[in-house]
Structure formats: C-alpha cells, structure tokens
Structure 1
C-alpha cells in the first residue's frame, strides 16, 4: 500500500486478496447474477473459491431487458455453474408500481426475499450481490434492503471500484467486461409517475431502437408523451444529425411517444434522483 497526499491507495492485488478472503467464509453461496460485469466477476471468483457449493440466481422480469437474462445464462453456462431463474413478479407489488423514492427499496426487498426462499430450497442459506465501492455515493435504497436481509456485497467489502472490476473481468476473459451498466427500466420514470407495463414496454422498445442504431449505454427517460434520450456526449452529435435524427424520431413516434428530445447533458447516471429533496434520501 502506498500513500499520496495523506491518502492510502489500496492496490488492486490487495483488493483481490480481500475479495477471496471474504468468499472463503462461505462453504455454500448463491450469487444474484444480473448479466452485468459486477455480478459476473463475483460469480467467477466465487466459483474458484467455493467450487460446487456455488449457484447463480437471476430475476426474470419485464423491468429488465431480455438481453440481461440472456447474458446471465451465457455467463453461468460458460463457467459451468447451476443457474436458477426467479419470476420476480415486481409488477404485482403496489409499493413498486407507485414509484415513490422508496421504489428501489421495495423492489430489492421483494426480489432478494424471493431469491433467498428459492436458494434455501437447495440447501444454500447465503446470497451475495454485485454492489461495488462506487455504489456508496449515489442514492441507492436497495442497498438498505440487502443489508436488512443479510445479502452480502463482497465486491463492496473488498473496496473494488467499477473500473477495477472491469479490469479484472477483462483479465479473466469474461465477455461482459466492457458491457455498459444497465439499471432496471423503472429508473427511466420520474418519481411519482406510476409504473405500468405499457410504458415499460415503450421504454424497452425505444432503447432497443437506439441500441440497434449503434448507441451503447443509452437511456430513454419516460416523461409521459415525451421521450428524453440520453446518450454519451461523444454520441450526441451523431444522434442529432440527419438522417439519424429523423430516423430515431420516426421510430419513437411509432412506439407511442408524441415528442422526442435529446438531453444536452448526455447520459447522466441517476439523473432522476435530482428531483429528490435531501430528506427523501435519508
């Protein structure tokens, strides 16, 4: 460990050692596998440490793009790990559908509870998820739900950041090492806007249009009749130049949006959280 300006910099090697040591505390473990890079790395390292005592479990739901489930299946299959899929059924939960600032807490409490029930039928008591050190800064009530249920976060415990996780995943040859982060579709709606399946499908289809056009890691925020598109600042000139602009606008109009705009700030993680007052984040 070395120090710069009074701050200790923990080496990546030491963080890997911490992660392995944390995982050695479990004879059996289930990993909540989302299809993203964080849980994929966690699963790969846990497989080396725990071996046959490890399984993966993924929530299947309309609020997650189908590609997420496909990627989760691919990762578990590549590693030779038993993979369970839970019908998480969030769209039946009033506390989720009302879309208050506690939506993520309600959702994670419901999903993790379902996962724990499922894995305990196989004789496994402990569940881990892929939260990392970078997740501490933003408003993430789902972390509170995980802690209350005893769901562990080994990557966070090891203080691994997203760039470090990508680096380790690339070294291991995991195909999702550079996959853009993909939050659930519920994050595309302003708090207080009820979440209904028809609107979820609109967002899913609109983001698929953008993905097929070559925009990676984009978001379509749903503001009623208005679709607010967020892409990287590098991609913004491409989005607003014809013929791309007119083609995207036409496709989103066909999906059901009356007005389509591009956000001049580009893609901003957690941009909907700006509407929260300090008290709502407590």
Structure 2
C-alpha cells in the first residue's frame, strides 16, 4: 500500500475504533474469519473499553477456525470464551431450509446474550448487505450491531485494515463459511458428515499443486461435488481427478458413507437452492 492509501486506511480504522469507544462494554462474536478477527483486533486496540470475545464450536465450525481464534487469543491477550450455541439441538436448523443461517445465528446470539449484557458485535461488512444473508435478520432481532456496516466498511477495506494492524498473511485469509453451507438446501444436516467435508477439502488442498485458491466439498442430492477455482479445475488431468476421487471416497467410506464424486467450477452459494431474490438488508 502506498502512503496515501495507508493514510486512508488508518483514518477509516480510527472511525471504527471511535465508534467502539462509544459503546464502552462490548462482546465480539468471532468466527475465525478475517472480518470478525479484524473487528476483535480493533476492539482490543481501543482504549477505555471492556472487550470479551465469544467463539462458538460445533460440528459446523472448521477445526482450523477454532485453532486460529485460540492462537490469536493467546498472542494478543484476548478475553475469550468458547461456547456451544446448541444449533444442533434446533430442528429448524437441522432440517436445512434455505434460511438455515437465520436459525444458526439466532442460537448463537441467544447463547451469547445469556452470559452477557454487553453490546454484541458482528463482523458483517457492507458487501454482505447485497447478498442473501438470513443471519442478518437474526442479528437484527437480537439487536446485534455491525461496526463495519455502520462505518461503510467493505471487504477490501477490512483486509487493508487487517494488514495495517499487523495481521500479515491473515489479511488475505480466504472466505470459509460454516461447513453446513456445503450441504444442499433440504438435505438434513448430519453432524457426523460435516467433519468429513472439512477433511476432504483439507486433503484436496494438500494434493493439488499449486494449492487451489478455492475448494468446496458440496453434498448434493446427486452426490459429492468438488468445486475448484477455474485455474485448478482446468489443470486437473484425468489421472489426477481419479486419484482425488479415491482420496475423497476413502474419507467418507471409512465412516460408512458412499457417494458418487464429481468435479465442477466453483460457484458462490451453489448449495443453496430456491433462494429468494437478492435484496438489501435494512440494518
């Protein structure tokens, strides 16, 4: 970043910390993605406020996200509480409707609000408002605030701020939604299956060189579909594709699951079907 860009980023970060300072006592829901991690870092650097981080664990949360949050808490002295949001006890969530995220976030914010009266914050940014995000409706119901939205901060600015406050390579951390997002709408969420999806994605990243920019292991009515970024998909030879199918079959079959495996180009949100028209969320 050039000096002018750095100055703009620092000014923007200052607007966010000024907003946080007005809240005095805050709780940050930290998923382990770059948005919530950056918000947590800014909160930690804001003087004269009390900050508590909350991270929910469940079969839908990639283990590497939890490890990342715990490591950051150790490195930067966060006050961190790990909790179970109990979404897997919610039949509305398990049935996997198109607005499954609403039930996930409803359970998350309920779990946090039962242990604190602080203002709850999420890392949602303005780019999220133009996407189908039923979790934002749950946030509205729970009176959760979104500092990045309130300061008109988009994803690129979040990454620039992350870099400016010392998060280094994490500033370019790829998006990785919860593992339930890999399951096609209407297929019941199976907590035993989600870690296998995560393991499959991890093994594919290790087995393809150069490492793919994007990997999604989708469970659809037709079977397992591995989505890769265009460059990685086009470079797969028939022999390599066959080898990857063997690896993936091995992951699922050892737990008693058997699915046909195919490969497609990555498409954002392709596991969601019958989605309502995109609209801007009033926050």
Q: Same fold (TM over 0.5)?
A: yes
The aligned residue for residue 141 of structure 2 is 148
How much does 1:139 deviate? Answer: 0.6
Post-superposition CA distance 1:15-74 (Å, at most 9, x none)? 334312221211111111111111111111111114561121100111011000001111
The aligned residue for residue 4 of structure 1 is none
The aligned residue for residue 252 of structure 1 is 248
Q: Distance in 2 between matches of 1:234 and 1:279?
A: 28
How much does 1:140 deviate? Answer: 0.4
Pair 1:79-2:79 in alignment: no
Q: Distance in 2 between matches of 1:248 and 1:20?
A: 46
State the superposition RMSD in angstroms: 2.2
The aligned residue for residue 114 of structure 1 is 111
The aligned residue for residue 199 of structure 1 is 193
Structure 1 residues 280 and 82, CA gap change in structure 2 (3 angstroms): closer
Pair 1:39-2:36 in alignment: yes
Q: Distance in 2 between matches of 1:280 and 1:160?
A: 19
Q: Which moved more, 1:246-255 or 1:62-71?
A: 246-255
Q: Could you tell me whether the CA contact under 8 Å between 2:129 and 2:280 is conserved in 1? A: no
Structure 1 residues 170 and 29, CA gap change in structure 2 (3 angstroms): same
Q: Which moved more, 1:268-277 or 1:63-72?
A: 268-277
Aligned partner (choices 128, 131, 135) of residue 124 of structure 2: 131
How much does 1:211 deviate? Answer: 2.6
Q: Could you tell me whether the CA contact under 8 Å between 1:26 and 1:50 is conserved in 2? A: no
Q: Map 1:223-262 to 2 at 5 A.
A: 223-224=220-221, 226-238=223-235, 240-254=236-250, 255-256=252-253, 257-262=258-263
Q: TM-score, normalised by structure 1?
A: 0.86
Q: Distance in 2 between matches of 1:243 and 1:87?
A: 42
Q: Distance in 2 between matches of 1:197 and 1:276?
A: 24
Aligned partner (choices 178, 186, 189) of residue 183 of structure 2: 189
Pair 1:23-2:32 in alignment: no
Q: Distance in 2 between matches of 1:59 and 1:158?
A: 26
SS at match of 2:248: helix
Structure 1 residues 51 and 74, CA gap change in structure 2 (3 angstroms): farther
Q: Could you tell me whether the CA contact under 8 Å between 2:93 and 2:103 is conserved in 1? A: yes
How much does 1:281 deviate? Answer: 11
Q: Distance in 2 between matches of 1:261 and 1:154?
A: 41
SS at match of 2:114: helix
The aligned residue for residue 180 of structure 1 is 174
Q: Could you tell me whether the CA contact under 8 Å between 1:36 and 1:176 is conserved in 2? A: no
The aligned residue for residue 5 of structure 1 is none
Q: Distance in 2 between matches of 1:162 and 1:233?
A: 22
Q: TM-score, normalised by structure 2?
A: 0.86
SS at match of 1:176: helix
The aligned residue for residue 267 of structure 2 is 268
Q: Could you tell me whether the CA contact under 8 Å between 1:60 and 1:86 is conserved in 2? A: yes
Q: Could you tell me whether the CA contact under 8 Å between 1:108 and 1:145 is conserved in 2? A: yes
Q: Which moved more, 1:53-62 or 1:200-209?
A: 200-209
The aligned residue for residue 5 of structure 2 is none
Q: Could you tell me whether the CA contact under 8 Å between 2:130 and 2:278 is conserved in 1? A: no
